[in-house]
């Protein structure tokens, strides 16, 4: 008989033994509650700040093997999808679970196109932002505001409502993103041109001026489509976790996606592609790279675009992006920052500090160099991450809503604060201790 799929735990405080079943390479942390030091004890709790080793859900959408550098959407390797698929076809795969046949792909494309327009009030809402508002801040606010336009979205257990909100968000995200860019440039908003592809229409809404019809450069249109494929989903990353936690309260998907956009905004997550370019511009030339590598090794700042919670090998997306860069530079001319990035990679991958910590280039290391070469301002880079990730977020949201094991997210804590104490009349209170390391100076 094979080895038992279980743990036998001995609690040395009581000498008692407990049998904890192992399922899918995990134990249910709730099973630890039966391990008690005394009858009145509430039982053991798992402690895992930042959820570094905790599975919060079962999912069929994306598979990552961080050691082998493998990424698959619904079982299809990212390398094949990037070469042979389109973003909208990949979005269908991620949302529906299978690649569409010709009829269903056409229907899907029409369903998305039908939702590229936004309510005219959205334009007035966006006009309220300062001219220099970061587009990610505009996106967080505007996506959240969509929940007030589509009140049917609250019916999250209705399949047709979930399908309609999914089409709306995938269709409208590029329109809102482009409008945020036009707002920052003081340019009029451009209506969608549904005769163009998904990325072609996005480029039109960004760049169309007085010409009757915008003609996207086919190389740039395809390059952006491949970048969108690469960013479409990535299992339980920070923004998807934020989405799932907010959605677990059964709020509408627009509010949950707004939370995901907010998480993606951070420089350690989707904001990293913007931070990489700022880092490369500060380094300025390849000969200054060694000095910056030394700084990062001393903990003075991070080599942005390097490292990953899951990938302890080269991010497969980064390899593909490097190839896309050459195609884009063929049209735009080479972005000189690529030489600094290549030198950073060359030196870092030979340095024990990075090698011992398994820090390799991630999806953000080269993507910003392409976006800059394509003429996007730095502040638009995380927006270019949010647009394609909408398909992943909607698939993850639907999976959460349908998962009978899920309920409202409410983690535990380890309380390390004061024990019970009596109220002190104001005249008897001591001068607060305002020293830097005093706990009373936390905010
Ligand atoms: C994305 O999760 C996803 O799937 C995200 C994403 C997706 O598609 O959704 O892949 C997209 O967010 C990619 C990551 C983009 N962020 C960056 O490029 C920012 C720079 N990288 C990091 O800050 C960091 O690597 C993280 C945030 C990505 C991962 O951090 P972890 O797993 O929490 O690792 P850690 O902070 O505990 O670091 C472990 C060690 C530390 O050193 P020691 O304390 O052991 O001495 O590695 C060091 C860190 O100081 N380290 C770095 C580093 N990243 C980690 N040192 C220098 N430069 C870095 N980039």
pLDDT in tens, 355-397: 999 999 999 999 999 999 999 999 999 999 999 999 999 999 9
- Classify residue 350: in a domain, yes or no: yes
Six-digit token pair at 125? 């809402």
165 and 216 inside one domain? yes
348 and 204 inside one domain? no
| Mutation choice for ligand 1 from 308, 360, 390, CB with most ligand atoms inside 8 A | 308
Does residue 98 carry a pLDDT above 80?
Answer: yes
| Atom 20 of ligand 1, residue of closest alpha carbon | 304
Q: Give me the pLDDT at residue 4, please.
A: 85
Average pLDDT estimate for 113-131: 94
192 and 311 inside one domain? no
Active site residue 269: yes
Protein residues with CB under 6 Å of any ligand 1 atom: 234, 237-238, 268-269, 272, 296, 302-310, 357, 359, 362-364
- Ligand 1 atom at minimal distance to the Cα of residue 276: 18
pLDDT confidence tier of residue 1, bands split at 50, 70 and 90? low
The four Cα atoms 265, 268, 270, 275 give a dihedral, to 10 degrees, of 90
Q: Are 316 and 70 in contact (CB under 8 A)?
A: yes
Q: Which of 65, 217, 269, 351 is catalytic?
A: 269
- Classify residue 43: in a domain, yes or no: yes
Residue of 305, 313, 338 whose CA lies nearest to 324 = 338
Average pLDDT estimate for 87-108: 98
- Ligand 1 atom at minimal distance to the Cα of residue 353: 56
Q: Give me the pLDDT at residue 435, please.
A: 79
* CA gap 359, 305 in Å, rounded: 10
| Atom 34 of ligand 1, residue of closest alpha carbon | 309
- Ligand 1 atom at minimal distance to the Cα of residue 235: 4
Strand ranges for 219-343 from DSSP E:
none
Q: Are 74 and 94 in contact (CB under 8 A)?
A: yes
398 and 260 inside one domain? yes
234 and 290 inside one domain? no
Q: Give me the pLDDT at residue 441, please.
A: 55
pTM score, two decimals?
A: 0.94
Active site residue 119: no
∠ CA 335-344-70, rounded to 5°: 90
Domain around 13 = 6-47
- Ligand 1 atom at minimal distance to the Cα of residue 269: 12
For ligand 1, the distance from its centroid to the CA atom of residue 38, given in whole angstroms, is: 41
Q: Pick from 373, 390, 417: which residue ends a domain?
A: 373
224 and 298 inside one domain? no
Structure confidence by residue, pLDDT tens digits, 149-158: 999 999 999 9
∠ CA 115-194-389, rounded to 5°: 55
Q: Give me the pLDDT at residue 313, please.
A: 87
Q: Across the chain, which distance is largest between two alpha carbons, in Å?
A: 80
CATH of the domain at 334: 1.10.230.10
* CA gap 136, 142 in Å, rounded: 10
Does residue 197 carry a pLDDT above 70?
Answer: yes
Q: Report strand pairing: 6-11 vs 62-65.
A: unpaired
93 and 202 inside one domain? yes
* CA gap 319, 117 in Å, rounded: 35
Q: Are 343 and 286 in contact (CB under 8 A)?
A: yes
* Beta-bridge mates of residue 62: 73
Does residue 19 carry a pLDDT above 70?
Answer: yes
Number of domains in the chain: 3
For ligand 1, the distance from its centroid to the CA atom of residue 181, given in whole angstroms, is: 29
Residue 293 Cα distances to 9, 29, 81, 341, angstroms: 45, 40, 34, 12
39 and 133 inside one domain? no
For ligand 1, the distance from its centroid to the CA atom of residue 422, given in whole angstroms, is: 44
Active site residue 65: no
* CA gap 69, 42 in Å, rounded: 41
* CA gap 277, 273 in Å, rounded: 7
For ligand 1, the distance from its centroid to the CA atom of residue 303, given in whole angstroms, is: 9
| Atom 12 of ligand 1, residue of closest alpha carbon | 269
For ligand 1, the distance from its centroid to the CA atom of residue 376, given in whole angstroms, is: 25
pLDDT confidence tier of residue 231, bands split at 50, 70 and 90? very high
Q: Which of 115, 233, 308, 315 is catalytic?
A: 308
pLDDT confidence tier of residue 60, bands split at 50, 70 and 90? very high
* CA gap 77, 56 in Å, rounded: 24
201 and 80 inside one domain? yes
% of the chain at pLDDT higher than 90: 94
- Classify residue 218: in a domain, yes or no: yes
- Classify residue 440: in a domain, yes or no: no
* CA gap 259, 312 in Å, rounded: 28
For ligand 1, the distance from its centroid to the CA atom of residue 400, given in whole angstroms, is: 27
Average pLDDT of the chain?
95
| Atom 33 of ligand 1, residue of closest alpha carbon | 309
Q: Give me the pLDDT at residue 6, please.
A: 96
More confident residue, 429 or 439: 429
Average pLDDT estimate for 70-88: 97
224 and 351 inside one domain? no
Q: Which of 225, 252, 315, 364 is catalytic?
A: 364
pLDDT confidence tier of residue 191, bands split at 50, 70 and 90? very high
- Classify residue 146: in a domain, yes or no: yes
For ligand 1, the distance from its centroid to the CA atom of residue 348, given in whole angstroms, is: 14
- Classify residue 398: in a domain, yes or no: yes
CATH of the domain at 254: 1.10.580.10
| Atom 31 of ligand 1, residue of closest alpha carbon | 309
Q: Give me the pLDDT at residue 434, please.
A: 79
Going by the DSSP 8-state scheme, the letter that residue 113 receives in this structure is H
pLDDT confidence tier of residue 433, bands split at 50, 70 and 90? confident
| Atom 28 of ligand 1, residue of closest alpha carbon | 308
The four Cα atoms 220, 224, 229, 235 give a dihedral, to 10 degrees, of 150
| Mutation choice for ligand 1 from 52, 59, 278, 307, CB with most ligand atoms inside 8 A | 307
Query: DSSP letters of 10-59?
Result: EETTTTEEEEEE-BTTB--GGGGGG--SSTT--------GGGTT------
- Classify residue 231: in a domain, yes or no: yes
Six-digit token pair at 290? 């060694």
- Say which residues have a Cβ less than 8 Å from residue 133's Cβ, sequence separation at least 6: 180, 183, 184
Six-digit token pair at 294? 């030394």
114 and 134 inside one domain? yes
Q: Give me the pLDDT at residue 432, please.
A: 84
Q: Give me the pLDDT at residue 440, please.
A: 58
∠ CA 258-261-199, rounded to 5°: 110
Neighbours of 386 (CB within 10 A): 25
For ligand 1, the distance from its centroid to the CA atom of residue 307, given in whole angstroms, is: 4
% of the chain at pLDDT higher than 70: 98
Q: Are 144 and 256 in contact (CB under 8 A)?
A: no
Helix, strand, coil shares, percent, the chain, to 5: 55, 5, 40
* CA gap 368, 378 in Å, rounded: 8
150 and 30 inside one domain? no
| Atom 8 of ligand 1, residue of closest alpha carbon | 234
- Classify residue 236: in a domain, yes or no: yes
Of 198-202, 223-227, 363-367, the one with minimum mean pLDDT is 363-367
| Atom 40 of ligand 1, residue of closest alpha carbon | 357
Structure confidence by residue, pLDDT tens digits, 159-180: 999 999 999 999 999 999 999 9
Average pLDDT estimate for 265-288: 94
Does residue 70 carry a pLDDT above 60?
Answer: yes
Average pLDDT estimate for 273-292: 95
């Amino acid at each position: 008989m094979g080895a038992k799929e279980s743990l036998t735990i001995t609690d040395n405080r009581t000498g008692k033994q407990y049998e904890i079943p192992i399922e899918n390479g995990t134990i249910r942390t709730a099973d630890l509650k039966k391990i008690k030091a005394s009858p009145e004890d509430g039982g053991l709790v798992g402690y895992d700040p930042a959820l570094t080793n905790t599975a919060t859900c079962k999912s069929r959408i994306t598979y990552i093997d961080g050691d082998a550098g493998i990424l698959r959407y619904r079982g299809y390797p990212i390398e094949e999808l990037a070469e042979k698929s389109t973003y909208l076809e990949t979005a269908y795969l991620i949302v529906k679970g299978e690649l569409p046949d010709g009829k269903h792909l056409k229907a899907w494309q029409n369903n998305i196109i039908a939702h590229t327009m936004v309510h005219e009030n959205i334009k007035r809402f966006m006009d309220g932002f300062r001219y220099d508002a970061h587009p990610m801040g505009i996106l967080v606010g505007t996506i959240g505001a969509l929940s007030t336009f589509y009140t049917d979205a609250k019916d999250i257990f209705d399949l047709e409502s979930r399908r309609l909100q999914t089409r709306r968000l995938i269709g409208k995200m590029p329109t809102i993103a482009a409008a945020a860019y036009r707002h920052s440039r003081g340019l009029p908003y451009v209506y969608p041109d549904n005769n163009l592809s998904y990325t072609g229409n996005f480029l039109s809404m960004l760049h169309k001026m007085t010409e009757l019809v915008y003609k996207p450069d086919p190389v740039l249109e395809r390059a952006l489509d491949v970048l969108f494929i690469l960013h479409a989903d990535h299992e339980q990353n920070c923004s998807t976790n934020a989405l799932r936690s907010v959605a677990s309260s059964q709020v509408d998907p627009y509010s949950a996606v707004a939370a995901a956009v907010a998480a993606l905004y951070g420089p350690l997550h989707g904001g990293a592609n913007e931070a990489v370019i700022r880092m490369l511009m500060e380094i300025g030339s390849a000969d200054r790279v060694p000095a910056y590598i030394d700084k990062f090794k001393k903990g003075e700042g991070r080599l942005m675009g390097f490292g990953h919670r899951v990938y302890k090998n080269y991010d497969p997306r980064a390899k593909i992006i490097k190839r896309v860069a050459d195609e884009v530079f063929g049209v735009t001319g080479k972005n000189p920052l690529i030489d600094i990035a290549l030198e950073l990679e060359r030196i870092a991958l030979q340095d024990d500090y990075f090698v011992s910590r398994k820090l390799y280039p991630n999806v953000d290391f080269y993507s910003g160099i392409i976006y800059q070469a394509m003429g996007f301002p730095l502040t638009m880079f995380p927006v270019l991450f949010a647009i394609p990730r909408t398909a992943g977020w909607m698939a993850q949201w639907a999976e959460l809503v349908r998962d009978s094991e899920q309920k409202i997210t409410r983690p535990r804590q380890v309380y390390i604060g004061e024990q019970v104490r009596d109220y002190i009349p104001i005249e008897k209170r001591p001068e607060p201790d305002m020293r830097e390391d005093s706990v009373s100076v936390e905010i």
